Amino acid sequence: MPRIRRELCNKEICACSIFGAMNRDAERFTGAGVMKAIANMHVRGNGLGGGFAAYGIYPEYKDYYAFHLMFTGHSIADRISAKKELEAFLALKFDVVYDEEIPHGDEATVSDPPLVWRYFVLPKKQGEESLLSDGDYIVGKIMWVNTRIENAYVFSSGKNMGCFKGMGYPEEIGEYFMLDKLYRAYTWTVHGRFPTNTQAWWGGAHPFSLLDTTIVHNGEVSSYGTNRWYLEMYGYACTLQTDTEVIAYAADLLMRRQKLPIEIVAKILAPPIWDAIDRMNEKEKKLFTTLRMVYAPLLMNGPFAIIIGQTGRMIGLTDRIRLRPITAATRGEMFYLSSEEASIRLISPELDRVWTPNGGEPVIGELNSMRKV
């Protein structure tokens, strides 16, 4: 067996603030509100990362996958060369319908932004790859780009949605990408970061995404090593040096590939404790024991509060002993999730219902049009 070097790259940990807002009638709104809300939680971050996920922002291109690419590297030459290499790859594997630089305002105070570009594409499967689903094909190609093409990272890849992120306070990132002016979405999720490793980089900010699943995360995954080795067996490469990646890939594996409903997925990521399982009725006991037995390596240990965004849904979930806070609220058709209630009140002073969900129990908001009648 050839000698395998152990990797020395560090996993960054972060403590932070998260926020999500969704209109369940699918009415779209600008990013201005959520930018204000996250700015209100400014003290939870330290300016070394911020990001947004927005759903419903590309109605004219809604049938195409919107790839957001980040070309890093110290010099412009590095970035251009990465872009060329990536575009050559894209031309082979995808039909590119349209591409352009993601617009940004230069007055914003972010540091050392990379070249950020978007491509609207459809998969171009050849040979044996025609047997793969679109999702599996695209995930495979994204893992390839992120591991093989230096200085190029795909950080968003779903249809009619996109992530915007980088180094800076989230409200600064919002201004940089002009999210309050250029985009309207029916779901926004936001993240402000406080990494404890000052070598933070643009790719390390949240949200993490794969196809249309995005994750913003507050906390630290202490089971990262275990989660990672399990996911690597299924073809996910954990390259972005942040523990949140494993949550995004676990959600993709369980929800898209294994087609498990979110209620079950929540019970895999944050299962009830054995004492509680032993006291359940026979049927439930068997179900939860089986889930824990089979999916033990996907248990997310350590404090976390996450907001999962998907087409038509926004889901809040905390770890099973609720070491991180999350507040949920509703007002008419608006559904909010936040690390602190005050931020929700800032943009919606009146609220119908405010509560803090139990640890390990997901709070699920869905578009009314998606609910089964």
Partner 1 sequence: MKSFVFPEFQITRDEEKCGQCRGCERQCSFGTHTYDPVADRLISDEYKCAGCQRCVIFCPKNAIVVRPTPSFYRPNASWSREKLDDLKKQAETGGVILTGCGCDKPFRIYWDHIVLNAAQVTNPSIDPLREPMELRTFLGAKPDLMDISVKEGDVEIKTKLSPNLMVQTPILFSAMSYGAISYNAFRSLATAACKSGTYFNTGEGGLPREMREEFGRCAIVQVASGRFGIDAEYLNCAQAVEIKVGQGAKPGIGGHLPGEKVSLAVAETRMIPAGTDAISPAPHHDIYSIEDLSMLIYALKEATNYEKPISVKIAAVHNFAAIASGIVRAGADIIAIDGLRGGTGAAPKVIRDNVGIPTELAISSLDRSLRSEGIRNRCSIIAAGGIRCSSDVIKAIALGADAVYIGSAALIAMGCTLCQKCYTGKCNWGICTQDPRLSGRLNVEIASERLSNLISAWSHEISEMLGGMGINALESLRGNRDHLRGVGLYEWELDVLGIKGAGE
Partner 2 sequence: MARAVIDATDLETKELNDRLRDLMHSGVKNVNIINVCGQRYIGTRLYTPERLKMDIEISGTPGNDLAAFLYGHKITVHGNAQDGVGNTMDAGEIIVEGRAGDVLGFSMRGGEIYVRDNCGYRMALHMKEYEGKRPVLVVGGRAQDFLGEYMAGGIVIILDLLGQTHQANFIGTGMHGGVIYLRGSVEQSQVGGQVDISPIDDADRAVLDQYISRFLERFPEIGMSLEEILNSQFARLTPKSKRPYSNLYAY
Active site residue ranges: 16
* Cβ proximity to partner 2, 17 vs 213, nearer residue: 17
State the nearest-atom distance from the C-beta of 287 to partner 1, in Å: 6
Site size toward partner 2 (CB under 8 A) is 21
Which of 43, 77, 293, 373 is the binder for partner 2 (CB under 8 A)?
A: 43
As a whole number of angstroms, the distance between CA 34 and CA 12 comes to: 25
Give the interface with partner 1 as residue ranges (CB under 8 A): 1, 3-6, 8, 11, 13-15, 196, 219-220, 222-226, 229-230, 232-234, 257-258, 260-261, 263-264, 273-275, 286-287, 290-297, 299-303, 321, 323
Binding mask 310-339 for partner 2 (x = CB under 8 A): -----------xx--x-x------------
* Cβ proximity to partner 2, 151 vs 348, nearer residue: 348
Which of 233, 275, 281, 369 is the binder for partner 2 (CB under 8 A)?
A: 275
Strand-pair partners of 12: 242
Residue 111: contacted member of partner 1, partner 2, none (CB under 5 to 8 Å, by partner type): none
Residue 359: contacted member of partner 1, partner 2, none (CB under 5 to 8 Å, by partner type): partner 2
Structure tokens at 154: 């795909």
Kindly compute the dihedral angle of the four CA atoms of residues 25, 26, 31, 35, in this order, to the nearest 10 degrees: 50
CA atoms within 13 A on the CB side of 73: 18
| Contact of 333 with 303, CB cutoff 8 Å | no
Structure tokens at 172: 């600064």
Q: Can you say whether residue 76 is alpha, beta or left, with left for phi > 0 and alpha for psi between -120 and 50 degrees?
A: alpha
Which of 13, 15, 122, 354 is the binder for partner 2 (CB under 8 A)?
A: 354
343 binds partner 2 (CB under 8 A): yes
State the nearest-atom distance from the C-beta of 280 to partner 1, in Å: 13
276 binds partner 2 (CB under 8 A): yes
Which of 279, 284, 294, 352 is the binder for partner 2 (CB under 8 A)?
A: 279
As a whole number of angstroms, the distance between CA 322 and CA 309 comes to: 20
Structure tokens at 93: 């594997």
CA 322 from chain centre, in angstroms, equals 20
Structure tokens at 242: 């942040």
Strand-pair partners of 363: 316
302 binds partner 2 (CB under 8 A): no
Pairing verdict, β 94-101 and 327-331: unpaired
Strand-pair partners of 116: 70
* Cβ proximity to partner 1, 175 vs 243, nearer residue: 243
Q: How far is CA 117 from each of CA 114, 164, 228, 238, 239, rounded to the nearest angstrom?
A: 10, 11, 29, 22, 20
Residue 77: contacted member of partner 1, partner 2, none (CB under 5 to 8 Å, by partner type): none
287 binds partner 2 (CB under 8 A): no
165 binds partner 2 (CB under 8 A): no
State the nearest-atom distance from the C-beta of 2 to partner 2, in Å: 48
State the nearest-atom distance from the C-beta of 115 to partner 1, in Å: 32
What are the two backbone dihedrals, phi and then psi, of residue 216, each rounded to the nearest 5 degrees?
-115, 140
Which of 294, 342, 368, 370 is the binder for partner 2 (CB under 8 A)?
A: 342
Closest to 204 (Cα-Cα) out of 70, 333, 58, 300: 70
Residue 96: contacted member of partner 2, partner 1, none (CB under 5 to 8 Å, by partner type): none
Which H or E element spans position 69?
A: strand 65-71
* Cβ proximity to partner 2, 73 vs 359, nearer residue: 359
Indicate the SS3 state at residue 361. coil
Strand-pair partners of 185: 29
**Site residues, partner 2 (CB under 8 A):** 40-41, 43, 275-276, 279, 321-322, 325, 327, 340-343, 345-346, 354-356, 358-359
